[in-house]
């Protein structure tokens, strides 16, 4: 994010960073838009703001956040529409306008995601696919998941989860003790492959990736050996996700899909941490 800010500032272009789920952040954006439109507001009865970006980057989510704030700042008689959001690209199919202010009337146009006409190289394409900017079916879920695991392993991300291996017994004891005190919080399964809650599942995934990474004796700098590690991790993840193994049956597809879903939910961090000081956690 900071690199993008510096890039636009070096090009003498206005740029601010915002969090679409933060009211104060979105308010900052609206204030910025008002400032830039100040001269036009006195001349034009209606103003249009277009929201443009890469697919699945959060444009519709931002519009919905703008609605919540704008309706309190600029009360409108007409009922405001909401933009449809989703975890995959392609939810917004057409250009749609949403009224966010009156006197003057200001509309935000939500648009379908746009990409460059051609992707320059395979790694760029994989990165876009990993974020959901490109549909999984175009690249293939298995290829995307393997690319994700390669990034995890090359950056040694699983080492950040090593503490979870040591805390497993303590964690199980806490849960069992809690169950005795309050049956309403009871968790019926505590083994390695079963998870009742999403966070339990995330923790089991992190443990599996860390355990296989620590037990692997090959050299991950060698492409063939890195592929071997990734295959081992997918086997372990299949067990975590409780996907039945069948002879001559391809099970990496469902495993890959579940892994990508967890990653895109933002629950698998830390990820790609550069220059992380020893002993620190993020």
> The domain that contains 78 carries what CATH number?
3.40.50.300
Residue 78 belongs to a domain: yes
Residue 260: which of 162, 151, 159 has the closest Cα? 151
* Cβ neighbours of residue 246 closer than 8 Å, sequence gap 6 or more: none
Residue 273 belongs to a domain: no
For residues 246-263, average pLDDT: 81
pTM of the model: 0.69
Same domain assignment for residues 74 and 47:
yes
Same domain assignment for residues 78 and 131:
no
Q: Could you give the number of structural domains in the chain?
A: 2
Same domain assignment for residues 63 and 8:
yes
Query: Exposed/middle/buried for 94, CB within 10 Å: 0-12, 13-18, 19+?
Result: exposed
pLDDT digits (tens, 9 = 90+) for 121-170: 888 889 989 988 888 888 899 999 999 999 999 999 999 898 888 766 55
Domain coverage including residue 196: 122-176+192-265
Residue 278 belongs to a domain: no
Same domain assignment for residues 16 and 103:
yes
Residue 165 belongs to a domain: yes
How much is the pLDDT for 69?
78
Same domain assignment for residues 30 and 104:
yes
């Amino acid at each position: 994010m900071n690199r993008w800010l510096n890039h636009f500032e070096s090009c003498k272009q206005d740029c601010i960073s915002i969090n679409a789920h933060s009211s104060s952040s979105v308010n900052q954006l609206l204030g910025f838009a008002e400032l830039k439109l100040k001269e036009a507001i006195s001349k034009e009865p209606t103003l249009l703001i277009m929201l443009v970006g890469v697919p699945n980057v959060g444009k519709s989510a931002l519009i919905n956040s703008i609605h919540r704030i704008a309706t309190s700042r600029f009360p409108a008689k007409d009922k405001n529409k909401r933009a449809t959001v989703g975890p995959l690209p392609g939810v917004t199919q057409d250009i749609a306008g949403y009224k966010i202010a009156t006197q003057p009337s200001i509309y935000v146009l939500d648009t379908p995601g746009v990409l460059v006409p051609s992707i320059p190289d395979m790694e760029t394409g994989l990165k876009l696919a990993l974020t959901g900017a490109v549909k999984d079916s175009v690249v293939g879920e298995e290829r995307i998941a393997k690319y994700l695991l390669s990034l995890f392993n090359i950056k040694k991300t699983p080492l950040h989860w090593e503490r979870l291996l040591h805390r497993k017994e303590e964690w199980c004891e806490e849960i069992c003790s809690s169950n005795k005190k309050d049956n309403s919080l009871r968790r019926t399964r505590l083994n390695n492959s079963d998870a009742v809650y999403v966070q339990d599942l995330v923790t089991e995934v992190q443990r599996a990736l860390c355990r296989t990474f620590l037990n692997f004796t090959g050299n991950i700098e060698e492409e063939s050996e890195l592929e071997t590690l990734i295959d081992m991790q997918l086997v372990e993840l299949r067990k975590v996700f409780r996907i039945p193994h069948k002879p001559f049956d391809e099970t990496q597809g469902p495993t890959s899909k579940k892994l990508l879903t967890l990653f895109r939910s933002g629950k698998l961090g830390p990820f790609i941490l550069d220059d992380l000081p020893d002993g620190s956690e993020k």
